[in-house]
Structure 1
Amino acid sequence: MKPSVLSSVCFFVLATHGFGFCQSSVQAQHTAQFRFDFSDIADDQFENHQSVPGFELNLDAIRLVQFNLDEDAVWMTERQKLHAKAMGMKYLDITDAPSNFGRLFEKQHFSYPPPNSSLVKPIFPLLSIEEMKTNLKYFSSFRTRYYNSESGRASSEWLLQKIRNYTAELATPEQKAIISVEPFHHGWKQASVIIRIAPKGSTSDPITVLGAHCDSINKKNPYLPAPGADDDGSGTVTILEAYRALLKSKYTPTTPLEFHFYSAEEGGGLGSQEIVAAYEAEGKEIKGMQQYDMTAWVASGSKEVVNIITTGVDTELTEFLTLLVGRYLDIPWVKEQQAKGTGSDHLLWTRAGYQACHAFEGLAVNANNENIHTRQDRIDASHEFSFSHMRQFAKLAVAFAVELSS
């Protein structure tokens, strides 16, 4: 029997709290500083046994990893990070985070009046389940979207081109004048993608951000197939469809609006961490950020809901999210406090002092745990994979975008 997550790991703490750390003094002593106390994962499990081409992965690379927002980070190897992923553990990899991450300036705090825009509901009929099916079918056809693989690179290039095609085909001249679609390159193969909609004269205004991560991983071995349909192809396609509908509606925000597709979330929030650090270095203010990480699964026998996460988020923005669901969606919201272990990309915004929130596809007990991070995470894995549920989240994305940027 596999031991529980909490009891299966023991380590020695070698780093200071949070993102203020000194790397060089302990790096040479790394190898024995983190070990797992279980025997059902072989030492060579994460090797490229079939010599699959197109990967760059150094299993002995030394990383500084944080498993709990309230605890110290620990040094470990990339191989040990993959062990943790296989055990279902969540973490942030803060090896390359600036030592002053989140402390460059005091962030502005925003309040959120009850939603009341007349612009939101007329956009909903433009949201297409068939368009989402087509996009997710293709996006999950890449062998894997692992961030240090050629197929991971190709998947982000396809996403970038898809967004540029939508913009070229659907945007009005007025919209095109204020939209940019660009890759955000990292030190690994897969790029993040950022859509910026910045009305003239608004460059110093606070930004509304909708985010999803575009990578995937097979927890048994990163070289194995990982279609990532639910985690997180569903989130990617959800906010992509919201962007397409906004273009078709000819919506133009009055304050900056951005859509972020983050690389390397499965590596510990690496892509979003670099983007947040860059935004903070530029002194950018964020009006609100919402993460879309898994939006498709409705477990048999469960009630269809939007699960609004209360851990690692801003309280006021989270309350605003419940009001959006109540006003604009056809299904109810529930709130759930997750374990304190770190989770998705919104946490990097939270750690930097920005206001962020997160809504999930359902209660944790009903989550798609059997399929995610495996070759079975496909759109045809089960009738429980629901594009109509994804459409509810696309409506939420439209509402969040319009209410905060108009």
Structure 2
Amino acid sequence: MKSLLSTLLLLFAIVSVGYARPIATSEIAAKSAQGLRLLSLAEGEDPVWKTEAEVLDLLRAGKNFFDVTDTYELETKLRAQTGSAAKVVSDVLRATYAAPSKQTQVRAILGTLTTTNMQSYLNTLTAFNNRYYRSTTGVSASNWILSTVQGFATQYGRSDVVAQQVTHSFQQPSVVVRIPGSNPSAPRVLLGSHMDSINLSNPTNGRAPGADDDGTGAVNLLEAYRALLQGNFRPTNPVEFHWYAGEEAGLLGSQAIAANYKSTGVQVKAHLNLDMTGYYKPGTAEVMALAPDYADSGLNEFMKLLITAYSRIPWANDLACGYACSDHASWNRQGFPTAYPFEAVTGNDNPTIHSASDTTSVNGFSWTHSLEFAKIAAAFAYELGI
């Protein structure tokens, strides 16, 4: 009964997306200029203005939110065009996918994934003092990711692959790489992680290696992308890899990209979010935990089949992730099917994140565990892209 009630409340909140007090463009411009941020703190509630100090207080208290300062007007326009969110609810609940069927081709690619490569990538990312979205080192991290993915395309002779940065209102750009499909108009298959890191004690200057949050997800995608190019992956559907900026400050990069895709009519077949994949509490079962909320139920069923087919560790149902807990929520917010496999059942996950202690030396960090998520990323791209 509790599960059914929660689902009904969520559907009601999604349908009731109209704001009681629409915010004028002039107000957004004026308050943004004052350094205020517009935050959506809960389903069905109007967003509220907060100072930077109040934003940090929310983060330190573990309160998740969407920072909608940059996307509020676009989302309001989208709601006005559609009239209601009923179609969004329908789309989110009814995505269906064929069972994995390309084991021979996929396993050949998975065999080329290595923890050595992922360790090398992560050594570079964690060497930045932090990857905070408003720091120069956050920009440097984005530049390094762009250069790396461009280098893989050159290495494997893939001049058709397009890699670019997506600029935002803040310093750190997101990175998007597209492997074109033989059917350019087919719905896109998307895989995302966030590149930024944060030290909640001193966000701008504090040491934030972000090895697990989200260095692991970022390097999973780098290695999956590299292996697919090495395997001469030429999909039918366009396949994109995304590294999002500003996740730690309210899902900024993923929101901007998801809202842009919605407003420009981009069709999305599925979106996979990898955020923390390298840790499980010593003494607990090693699993891939699937977030049940703000994710597509049909895509989660596909993920169970995918994990069973291609991973040595089993899937598990996670506890509720909560409002705006990671970048998959940005895609769910726009009605796109998304899934979020997590490193462990919530409670058995990494306790050192958002601090200088988020390194690979923490007891419980496992490269072989993280490798399983890179396998699932490559398999996801192949099975849904071909």
After TM superposition, the score normalised by the length of structure 2 is: 0.87
| Structure 1 partner of 2:234 | 252
Residues 2-401 of structure 1 correspond to what in structure 2 (within 5 A)?
Answer: 18=17, 20=19, 22-24=22-24, 61-97=35-71, 98=74, 99-101=76-78, 110-117=95-102, 118-169=104-155, 171-172=156-157, 175-177=158-160, 179-200=161-182, 202-223=183-204, 224-338=206-320, 340-369=322-351, 371-380=352-361, 382-401=362-381
Matches of 1:285 and 1:199 in 2, distance apart? 13
Matches of 1:167 and 1:86 in 2, distance apart? 40
Matches of 2:49 and 2:124 in 1, distance apart? 38
Matches of 1:322 and 1:86 in 2, distance apart? 33
Q: In structure 1, give the amino acid aligned to 2:283.
A: G
Shift of 1:181: 0.6
1:236-264 CA distance string (max 9 Å, x none): 00111100111111111111100000000
Q: In structure 2, give the amino acid aligned to 1:85.
A: L
Task: Provide the identity percentage.
Answer: 35
Q: In structure 2, give the amino acid aligned to 1:391.
A: L
After TM superposition, the score normalised by the length of structure 1 is: 0.83
Q: In structure 2, give the amino acid aligned to 1:129.
A: T
Shift of 1:273: 1.0
Secondary structure of the residue aligned to 1:115 is coil
Structure 1 residues 25 and 283: CA distance shift in structure 2, 3 A: closer
1:303-351 CA distance string (max 9 Å, x none): 1100011010111011111110111110011012315332111111111
Counterpart contact for 1:206–1:255, Cα < 8 Å? yes
Counterpart contact for 2:251–2:324, Cα < 8 Å? no
| Structure 2 partner of 1:40 | none
Shift of 1:384: 1.3
* Equivalences, count: 356
Matches of 1:244 and 1:339 in 2, distance apart? 30
Q: In structure 2, give the amino acid aligned to 1:384.
A: G
By percentage of residues, which structure has more helix? Answer: 2
Shift of 1:23: 2.6
Q: In structure 2, give the amino acid aligned to 1:83.
A: D
Matches of 2:144 and 2:17 in 1, distance apart? 35
**Which runs of 5 or more structure 1 residues have no equivalent in the other structure?**
1-16, 32-57
Residues 319-328 or 72-81, more deviating: 72-81
Structure 1 residues 329 and 167: CA distance shift in structure 2, 3 A: same
Shift of 1:150: 0.5
Q: In structure 2, give the amino acid aligned to 1:76.
A: K
1:68-124 CA distance string (max 9 Å, x none): 235442221121111111112211111221213467565766420111113211111
Shift of 1:26: 10
Q: In structure 1, give the amino acid aligned to 2:243.
A: F
Counterpart contact for 1:292–1:358, Cα < 8 Å? yes
